[in-house]
Amino acid sequence: MERPEVLRREIRCLLFDQYGTIVDMQKGLVEAVTPFLEKKGWTGSPNSFVTWWRRTHYENSMIDALCDRGHTPYRQIGHRAVSYVMDRCGLAYTQDEVRWLVSEIERLKPFPDVIAALEKLRGAGLKLVILSNGDRDMLEAAKEHIGFPFDDVISVQESGYFKPHWKTYACAEERIGEERSSILFVANHAFDCIGAKSFGMRTAFIDRRRRPFGETPHQPDLIVKDFAELADMMAG
């Protein structure tokens, strides 16, 4: 891993994943689906429902990028994922209900430590940018619920691929206007850090769940337990 003092000297921009890194996706979606599933009479675990939803969405977005037959919007993949999980659970549902559930992604709140950390990082003169798999309009709708003015919010729609395809990070580098080695990509997901690191960015892994990063030649430059520790390391 890179020494924090080296990163503080060389990094000009922090580039953040949004879903699961800035906003607490698991908690927020569990809170949304719990009363919905109760009304449906489903007695399973809401947490499992959301985990299946997110895992199915992730798998389908990776298939979309690998097949390389044109970019499918995040929202559309979300509709397919929710419909699949509803079918798996044996639930009757309408497409309006599917659309409503996916729209809850736009209203997710940040983790409790995020805003104070972002303010500290901005105070250190760092550029702060989002790079998300979400659609442009979904990211725009989410801004008021996050409550922090990032310098830019970039959707992978700009590149035509989902992360971790290298073109997503290349598009962000061009738009940010900084050399990739001076950008620190920050995510709660190993796959995203691996994608950014393989492209040539520095990376920080937010290890909220206390899990090993795994064996890969693309190890992160920083591993921190939360945003507060990230801000302490990068802003002093």
pLDDT means per 10 residues in the chain (236 residues)? 85 98 98 97 96 97 94 98 97 97 98 98 97 98 98 97 97 97 97 98 96 94 97 92
Two tokens at 16? Answer: 């953040």
Distance CA 216, CA 74 (A): 27
| Domains present along the chain, CATH in parentheses | 4-24+108-235 (3.40.50.1000), 25-107 (1.10.150)
Per-residue model confidence (pLDDT) at position 3: 83
Identify the CA nearest to 105 among candidates 215, 10, 158, 27.
27
Tokens 């619920």 -> residue: 145
Distance CA 129, CA 13 (A): 7
C-alpha distances in angstroms, 127 versus 16, 109, 117, 172, 185? 11, 22, 13, 13, 12
pTM equals 0.95
Tokens 């949004």 -> residue: 18
Distance CA 27, CA 29 (A): 6
> 149 preceded by cis ω (within 30°)?
no
Per-residue model confidence (pLDDT) at position 152: 98
Tell me the CB-side half-sphere exposure of residue 69, using CA atoms within 13 A.
3
Per-residue model confidence (pLDDT) at position 8: 87
Q: What are phi and psi of 15, to 5 degrees?
A: -110, 115
